[in-house]
Amino acid sequence: MKVIIFLILFTGYIAYSIVVYTRGTDSTIIYENKEKEQINKGKLLFQQYNCTSCHQLYGLGGYLGPELTTAISDVQRGELYVRAFLKNGGNRMPNFHFTNEEVDALVSFLKSVDTTAITYKRH
Ligand code: HEC
């Protein structure tokens, strides 16, 4: 009996692992090449300017600035609000003098982060 229960649990575990490790989340969100390029450019800028030293994504990062994972879809913030900060900085947020193209790329990156934050959003 124990052996049967073990086998049932073990096959269940194996099947579950296969599903989890072979089915990524990539397939559910499909970007066109141009959009992909923008997102990657924004991600590089995010790394280059070390935004994580002050901001968190998915709860990881510095705590001087606010969490940015859902900044784009947040009803109290949103894209225009984010753009304003990227363009001008804030009281403590530095003004990095980004070009409009760089702001676009950062917004694309933050948007892509936002769309993956399904379980992270507060309703
Ligand atoms: C020196 C710390 C610091 C760095 C580095 C920094 N920020 Fe900020 N940021 C802040 C602070 C603090 C605020 C809150 C407003 C204020 O006090 O100026 C903020 C606000 C923002 C906001 C508005 C979000 C909100 O919820 O109010 C956005 C968007 C943002 N930052 C994006 C970025 C991006 C993108 C980068 C990297 C290019 C970056 N920040 C780098 C400190 C920083």
Residue 86: pLDDT band (50, 70, 90) is: very high
Please check the confidence at residue 92 and state whether its pLDDT lies above 90: yes
In the chain, how many domains are there? 1
- Average of per-residue pLDDT across 47-73: 95
pLDDT at 118: 78
**Average model confidence (pLDDT) for the chain?**
92
Please check the confidence at residue 47 and state whether its pLDDT lies above 80: yes
Pocket of ligand 1 (CB under 6 A): 46, 49-51, 53-55, 64-66, 68, 71, 77, 82, 85-86, 90-94, 96, 106
Please check the confidence at residue 23 and state whether its pLDDT lies above 90: no
- How far away, in angstroms, is 118 Cα from ligand 1 center? 23
Q: Is residue 25, in this structure, part of any structural domain at all?
A: no
Q: Is residue 80, in this structure, part of any structural domain at all?
A: yes
Most informative mutation of 55, 56, 68, 87 for ligand 1 (most atoms within 8 A of CB): 55
Residue 57: closest CA among 122, 116, 123: 116
Residue 107: closest CA among 28, 35, 25, 29: 35
Q: Is residue 15, in this structure, part of any structural domain at all?
A: no
Please check the confidence at residue 65 and state whether its pLDDT lies above 90: yes
Kindly report the protein residue whose alpha carbon is nearest to atom 9 of ligand 1.
93
C-alpha to C-alpha distance for 90 and 119, rounded to whole angstroms = 29
Kindly report the protein residue whose alpha carbon is nearest to atom 7 of ligand 1.
93
Q: Which residues pair with 56 in a beta bridge?
A: 61
pLDDT at 26: 62
pLDDT at 25: 62
Q: Is residue 1, in this structure, part of any structural domain at all?
A: no
Q: Which atom of ligand 1 is least distant from the CA of 53?
A: 5
Q: Is residue 23, in this structure, part of any structural domain at all?
A: no
Q: Is residue 17, in this structure, part of any structural domain at all?
A: no
Q: Do 104 and 111 form a contact (C-beta atoms < 8 A)?
A: no
Residue 52: closest CA among 44, 42, 41, 63: 63
Q: What percentage of residues in the chain have a pLDDT greater than 90?
A: 80
Q: Is residue 100, in this structure, part of any structural domain at all?
A: yes
- How far away, in angstroms, is 94 Cα from ligand 1 center? 7
- The CATH code of the domain that includes 43 is 1.10.760.10
pLDDT at 30: 83
Q: Is residue 41, in this structure, part of any structural domain at all?
A: yes
Q: Which residue range is the domain that position 60 belongs to? A: 30-116
C-alpha to C-alpha distance for 99 and 10, rounded to whole angstroms = 55
Q: How many CB atoms lie within 10 A of CB 15?
A: 10
Q: What percentage of residues in the chain have a pLDDT greater than 70?
A: 95
Coarse DSSP helix, strand, coil percentages of the chain, rounded to the nearest 5 percent: 60, 5, 40
